[in-house]
């Protein structure tokens, strides 16, 4: 059930009705990463319901099999860890060899981590595993798929990013850096892809109530999207193919940070010095 939260958060959810999504994906191949939980699972089931064949990628083979039993023959499970970069790249090639060129890649899988510098100074693996899922593995999987889309002169990649890309917050440095890396990569290759009729969309979601965000639940006095509302945003992107979906307040924050970076950093320093850790 849709709440007022999308309005309050400035995230459009309308325009991606099942009938409209069906016109885009019916009878087509779609790839969704992080397909067994949260937003990825919801998007996967919606796409299957409107006639798409979905290759669902996730780490748990057992959970993928359970989803396959519910998702009928239109769901193709592919178990693996995007942090294994060789596997991720080979998975993209295997999809092409076994099923053909997808019309859509929803790069949704994510790994979230909330730690301050003094909490991960001796834990570099926190950096590598987060970057592996949110950036390196996502690109490794996407490269062969996007190359095939370019050849076909048709396709669309949706990257599910975070409003943290626009407003860097202390405590989220590892997570935000990995999401920003993916964002920078997609922004740079976007014109190349567009010239070959392959659309690119970056969605900067605010907080969504999922198991991934549960560790920091209640930390911020602000509304959150439900999984269904986040899926509504993605379905809208599937239909309209915008370059960006970014909340107004995130754009405002990014603009303020760009115009007055010293003032913004000074504000964060004052908060941290007073004992506030966002």
pLDDT tens digits for range 176-190: 999 999 999 999 999
Dist CA 239 CA 251 (whole Å)? 23
Does residue 230 form part of some domain? yes
Residues 6+ apart with CB under 8 A from 46: 18, 21, 231, 235
Question: How many beta carbons lie within 10 A of that of residue 219, not counting itself?
Answer: 13
Per the residue annotation, which of 116, 120, 175, 220 is the catalytic one? 175
Strands 244-245 and 198-205: parallel
Closest CA to 43 of 155, 208, 185: 208
Q: Which helix (H) or strand (E) holds 5?
A: helix 5-9
Does residue 117 form part of some domain? yes
> 96 pLDDT band (50/70/90 cuts)?
very high
Across the chain, mean pLDDT equals 93
The residue range of the domain holding 187 is: 5-273
Residues 6+ apart with CB under 8 A from 159: 107, 138, 182, 183, 186, 200, 201, 202, 203
175 as an active site residue: the answer is yes
- Angle value at C-alpha 251, between 249 and 254, nearest 5 degrees: 110
Does residue 182 form part of some domain? yes
pLDDT at 8: 79
Alpha helices in 154-260 (DSSP H): 173-194, 227-240, 248-259
Q: Is the pLDDT assigned to residue 71 strictly greater than 80? A: no
Q: Is the pLDDT assigned to residue 129 strictly greater than 70? A: yes
Mean pLDDT of 200-221: 83
Number of domains in the chain: 1
Report the CATH number at residue 15. Answer: 3.40.50.720
Does residue 278 form part of some domain? no
Q: Is the pLDDT assigned to residue 131 strictly greater than 70? A: yes
Dist CA 85 CA 228 (whole Å)? 30
* Cα separations in angstroms, 188 against 17, 192, 202: 31, 8, 12
Does residue 268 form part of some domain? yes
């Amino acid at each position: 059930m849709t709440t007022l939260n999308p309005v309050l958060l400035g995230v459009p959810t309308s325009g991606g009705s099942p009938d409209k999504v069906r016109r885009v994906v019916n009878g087509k191949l779609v790839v969704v990463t992080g397909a067994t939980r949260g937003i990825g699972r919801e998007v996967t089931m919606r796409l299957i319901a409107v006639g798409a064949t979905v290759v669902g990628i996730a780490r748990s083979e057992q959970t993928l099999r359970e989803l396959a039993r519910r998702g009928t023959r239109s769901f193709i499970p592919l178990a693996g860890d995007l942090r294994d970069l060789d596997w991720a790249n080979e998975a993209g090639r295997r999809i092409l060899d076994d099923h053909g060129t997808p019309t859509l890649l929803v790069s949704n899988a994510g790994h979230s981590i909330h730690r301050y510098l003094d909490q991960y100074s001796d834990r570099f693996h926190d950096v590598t595993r987060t970057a592996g899922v949110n950036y390196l593995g996502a690109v490794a999987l996407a490269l062969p798929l996007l190359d095939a889309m370019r050849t076909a002169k048709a396709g669309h990649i949706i990257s599910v990013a975070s409003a943290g890309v626009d407003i860097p917050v202390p405590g989220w440095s590892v997570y935000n850096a990995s999401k920003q890396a993916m964002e920078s990569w997609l922004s740079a290759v976007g014109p190349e892809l567009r010239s070959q009729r392959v659309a690119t969309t970056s969605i900067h979601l605010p907080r969504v109530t999922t198991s991934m965000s549960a560790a920091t639940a209640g930390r911020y006095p602000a509304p959150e999207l439900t999984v269904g509302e986040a899926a509504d945003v993605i379905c809208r992107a599937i239909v309209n193919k915008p370059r960006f979906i970014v909340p107004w307040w995130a754009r405002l924050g990014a603009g303020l940070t760009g115009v007055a970076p010293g003032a913004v950093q000074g504000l964060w320093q004052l908060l941290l010095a007073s004992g506030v850790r966002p």
